[in-house]
Chains A and B, each alone.
Chain A
Amino acid sequence: MATTSLPERIRRDFPVLQREVHGKPLVYLDSAASAQKPLAVIEGQREYLSNYHANIHRGAHHLAQLATEAYEGARTNLANHIGASGTEEIIFTSGSTDAINLVAQSWGRHNLSKGDVVLVTQMEHHANIVPWQMACEAHGARVEPVNVHADGTLDLEDFHACLETHQPKLVAMVHASNTLGTINPISDLCRAAADAGALTLVDGSQALPHMSIDVAHLGCDFYVATAHKAYGPTGIGFLWGKKEHLEAMPPWRGGGEMIQRVSFAGTTYNSLPHKFEAGTPHISGGIAFGIALDWMKGIGMDEIAAHEADLVAHAHSALGTVKGVRIIGTAPHKVGVVSLVAKGIHPYDMGTLLDGQGIAVRTGHHCTEPLMDHLGLESGTLRMSFAAYTTTREIDVAVAGLERALAMLR
């Protein structure tokens, strides 16, 4: 029996993939920036807004109850999806950036002091560097980076040396690099960090859409990710933290929802997870995030991961035949991200000429300037990134488009 490929089965779920750009069929290879949305997510958000929108947690009425059940249901869904021990460990945030800032500000305020080190890696997104720099600056601590090898893998020897030399209070590291695709050996790294007495925060923004996540197995203390790269809406993400840490951390934003009782004599705070969720949340986003998780589960994370591994292998081999092109990031384990440079050609020029052919990629430093500096790529790279709906044919179209662009630019 002939088996149909994953994209053949699911592409019709993505209305945007049917459109044209500049008169050509859209080839969307920018899923690492943001994934397109399946109908289930689009309709789920619409259904909430059309049928049971209300503010959650407080209303005495029927709609408020329906909305609260759906929003809290998404939290339960997410807790199950990542292997959390309970819903009180899931804090909804506006995204990964917001989640990292929460930990940097709240945990940092009580735990960082003069001379302390927060260890990061050279492949971090700015969102996992700048919040730590800000927290460190406020408390006289400093941020130190772990080296990355030329092939895009983490320098494990340097990682262990840094743990020993710097005795960091916390290690903040990316699960999968948005620029290189590299999947880091997180459970090994977390174990080593714990042995050295450091807490760990893992930025799972690129991992959540590509593989199954089990925070207990990973052994980290905090895990963050965003919904919109995992087929969900923008403006919603989460922080997972071990309950003991979250209990000990003070709230960092004040307002409604996060309080138990307010008076001018003093205010007491709500319990987890609400003490970190001041103000009315992104209710439709949270509900649709839960639907996106269901959608991924419906396919199976293993199938998505296998499909993307095939796409990466296909792209590496197809790009290997293009003269002057060098792939940046050739780690053995990668998510669906392929960065490249072409000798003497600015990535922006290639990206523009691909756009002219209806092919969407990203060019530049991908919010990883320290990594680009480290690799000596001052103009950045061109990045093709894939999702469950990406086809090998689209990669072939992009590679042919790239050859055409290069011919025009040389």
Chain B
Amino acid sequence: MASNHPLIESRQQEVIEDFSVFDDWMDKYEHLIDLGKDVPVIDDARKTEEHLIKGCQSRVWLAADVADDGGVIFTADSDAIITKGLVGLMVRVLSDAPAQAIAEANLHFLDAIGLHQHLSPTRSNGLASMVQQMRLYAAALAARQS
């Protein structure tokens, strides 16, 4: 796999470092809850079926736009706090990067911070669906740009 875009790679390293201080799941969750508070929130008007991610026990909305500099801006929200933290974590790593780089990103940090188990499609938090949707948005934006 091609190496990551430098922005995505450095963000992943930051997250890995942040999580390295926690050895207890409750501390990781506490941190996720905090991350959720920093999510750039999707406009209420866009909280429609179109932006709803399927496969979560809670509701997650996600939208992707392109900034003037060409980077992708994700906005999101969820009615569950931990899910909002998970989506916040993904937004933190992927936002502002070029669309093509997001579509192709190697998200090795999920393994490194022990969230890999949350990526299994059987999990009800829908992290796998979130990641997939972010890649789809990015691929669509990249196709439009080219």
Whether the Cβ atoms of A379 and B82 lie closer than 8 Å is no
Whether the Cβ atoms of B26 and A357 lie closer than 8 Å is yes
CB neighbours (8 Å) of B57 from chain A are 348, 363-364, 380
Whether the Cβ atoms of B125 and A348 lie closer than 8 Å is yes
Residue of A nearest to B58 (CB): A348
- Count of CB-CB pairs between chains A and B under 8 Å: 50
* Docked complex Cα distance between A326 and B30 (Å): 24
Category for how many chain B residues contact A: 10 to 19
CB neighbours (8 Å) of B58 from chain A are 346, 348-349, 379
- B1-51: which residues lie under 8 A (CB-CB) from chain A? 24-26, 28-30, 33
The winner among A23, A346, A357, A380 for most chain B CB atoms within 10 A is A346
Contact with B along A341-359 (1 / 0, CB 8 A): 0000110110011011100
Residue of A nearest to B26 (CB): A356
Residue of B nearest to A21 (CB): B25
Whether A348 contacts B24 in the complex (CB less than 8 A), given A356-B29, A364-B124, comes out as no
CB neighbours (8 Å) of B80 from chain A are 346, 348-349, 379
Q: Which secondary structure dominates where chain B touches chain A?
A: helix
Residue of A nearest to B80 (CB): A346
Chain A nearest Cβ from B79, distance in angstroms: 6
CB neighbours (8 Å) of B83 from chain A are 346, 348-349
Residue of B nearest to A380 (CB): B57
* One of A349, A364, A380 near B82 (C-beta < 8 A): A349
* Docked complex Cα distance between A47 and B141 (Å): 59
Chain B nearest Cβ from A401, distance in angstroms: 10
* Docked complex Cα distance between A408 and B124 (Å): 21
Whether the Cβ atoms of B24 and A23 lie closer than 8 Å is yes
- A217, CB-defined interface residue at 8 Å: no
Whether the Cβ atoms of A352 and B82 lie closer than 8 Å is yes
Residue of A nearest to B33 (CB): A408
CB neighbours (8 Å) of A349 from chain B are 58, 80-83
* Docked complex Cα distance between A352 and B25 (Å): 10
Whether the Cβ atoms of A22 and B25 lie closer than 8 Å is yes
- B108-143: which residues lie under 8 A (CB-CB) from chain A? 124-125
Contact with A along B74-113 (1 / 0, CB 8 A): 0000011111000000000000000000000000000000
Whether the Cβ atoms of B29 and A353 lie closer than 8 Å is yes
- A306, CB-defined interface residue at 8 Å: no
- A192, CB-defined interface residue at 8 Å: no
- A409, CB-defined interface residue at 8 Å: yes
* Docked complex Cα distance between A363 and B125 (Å): 11
Chain A nearest Cβ from B144, distance in angstroms: 34
Chain A nearest Cβ from B37, distance in angstroms: 12
Chain A nearest Cβ from B12, distance in angstroms: 23
Whether the Cβ atoms of A353 and B82 lie closer than 8 Å is yes
* One of A22, A348, A356, A379 near B124 (C-beta < 8 A): A348
* Docked complex Cα distance between A356 and B25 (Å): 5
Whether the Cβ atoms of A352 and B79 lie closer than 8 Å is no
List of 8 A-B pairs having minimum Cβ-Cβ separation, nearest first: A346-B80, A356-B25, A348-B80, A348-B57, A22-B25, A356-B26, A348-B58, A349-B81
Give the interface of A toward B (CB within 8 A).
Answer: 22-23, 345-346, 348-349, 352-353, 355-357, 363-364, 379-380, 404, 408-409
Given A345-B81, A346-B79, 12 other A-B residues pairs in contact with their CB atoms under 8 A: A23-B24, A346-B58, A348-B80, A348-B82, A348-B83, A349-B83, A356-B25, A356-B29, A357-B25, A379-B58, A408-B33, A409-B33
Show 23 residue pairs from A and B whose CB-CB distance is below 8 angstroms, ordered by the A residue.
Answer: A22-B25, A346-B79, A346-B81, A348-B58, A348-B80, A348-B82, A348-B83, A349-B81, A349-B82, A349-B83, A353-B29, A353-B82, A355-B25, A356-B24, A356-B25, A356-B26, A357-B26, A363-B124, A364-B124, A379-B80, A408-B26, A408-B29, A408-B30
